[in-house]
Amino acid sequence: KPGYTFDGWCSDPLKTHRVTEITTESLGDVHLYAKWSVNSNTLSFDANGGTGTMDPVADVNGGEYAIPECTFTAPEGMVFKGWATAKDGAVIDGKATLAADTTFYAIWTPITYTVSFNRNGGSGKMFDAEGIVGEYTLPECTFTAPAGKVFKGWSVSKDNVSIVDKIVVTGDVIVFAIWEDDSSATETPAKPTETPAGD
């Protein structure tokens, strides 16, 4: 059984009478029952680049074990992702099966943020950009412009303080679509040239 060690044979189903030998004088069939003892394991925690300490947990029985909350301090710019049994291992989901002394390593992942897009008088929808950190190139605007307007660019202020095509993301941020008058819609059509009489 996972988390257990074989601890000998017994002659009864309750496993209270241990048998170490059977003599040739025994008559008839003999039924023996395997006795299993729960492993007593020690669970240790490794900060894996973080700081702080977590006390090991001794006498952990075999089988499933609910992994405790991480109390290490994360490295700068990182957040706790989960526990793994190797420094770069896959994160364990919720519980682990222990069959021996085990070290759990804290796995860290970069803190990321969400960039949201505000149509600022236009119409339509643009999906948030998630998992962003550091320099980010703003995408093409797919909002529909207000009547008589065209897209001018993106700004981190709805009042068009400055137009940018890249931003440095250090937290959740909203960028605003900035619109300007559509000059092509306000141009006065040229008058047709009159043909002199008699031509």
- Give the per-residue pLDDT at 15: 76
Mean pLDDT, the chain, whole residue set: 86
% of the chain exceeding 90 in pLDDT? 55
Residues 143-180: b if buried by 16+ CB within 10 A, e if exposed: bebeeebebebbbeeeeeeeeeeebebeeebebbbbbe
**Of 125 and 194, the one with more pLDDT:** 125
For residue 85, name the pLDDT band (cuts at 50, 70, 90).
very high
Q: What are the backbone angles phi and psi of residue 65, rounded to the nearest 5°?
A: -135, 130
Any idea which residue has 């519980």 for tokens? 95
% of the chain exceeding 70 in pLDDT? 87
How far apart (Å, rounded) are the C-alpha atoms in residues 189 and 52? 74
**Of 129 and 195, the one with more pLDDT:** 129
Mean pLDDT of 117-133: 95
- Give the per-residue pLDDT at 119: 96
User: pTM above 0.75?
Assistant: no
- Give the per-residue pLDDT at 35: 84
If DSSP states are collapsed to H, E and C, what string results for the chain? Answer: CCCEEEEEEECCCCCCCEECCCCCCCCCCCCCEEEEEECEEEEEEECCCCECCCCCEEEEECEEEECCCCCCECCCCEEEEEEECCCCCCCECCEEEECCCEEEEEEEEECCEEEEEECCCCECCCCCEEEECEEEECCCCCCECCCCEEEEEEECCCCCCCCECEEEECCCEEEEEEEEECHHHHCCCCCCCCCCCCC
**Of 131 and 63, the one with more pLDDT:** 131
How far apart (Å, rounded) are the C-alpha atoms in residues 115 and 127? 9
Convert the pLDDT of each residue in 134-146 to its tens digit: 999 999 999 999 9
**Of 187 and 51, the one with more pLDDT:** 51
